Amino acid sequence: MSESDNTFKRAPKRKPLKGKSVAVSPEMRQAYADLIKQHETKQETYGRHLPQEEPRRR
């Protein structure tokens, strides 16, 4: 039974992975910014038509 104390040891901590960087052309960067802006305006107009608060029901 002397082996049972090794059963629940903590795993060693891992080093965090470094992020990847990607080179993008200015046209692609602008297209991506336009896409984000378009998505934000869609979300805003969608949220505008939702009811603000529902009345509490008993």
pLDDT tens for 3-43 read 556 677 888 888 888 888 889 999 999 999 999 999 999 99
CA–CA separation, 47 vs 41, rounded Å?
10
| pTM greater than 0.85 | no
d(CA 54, CA 15): 47
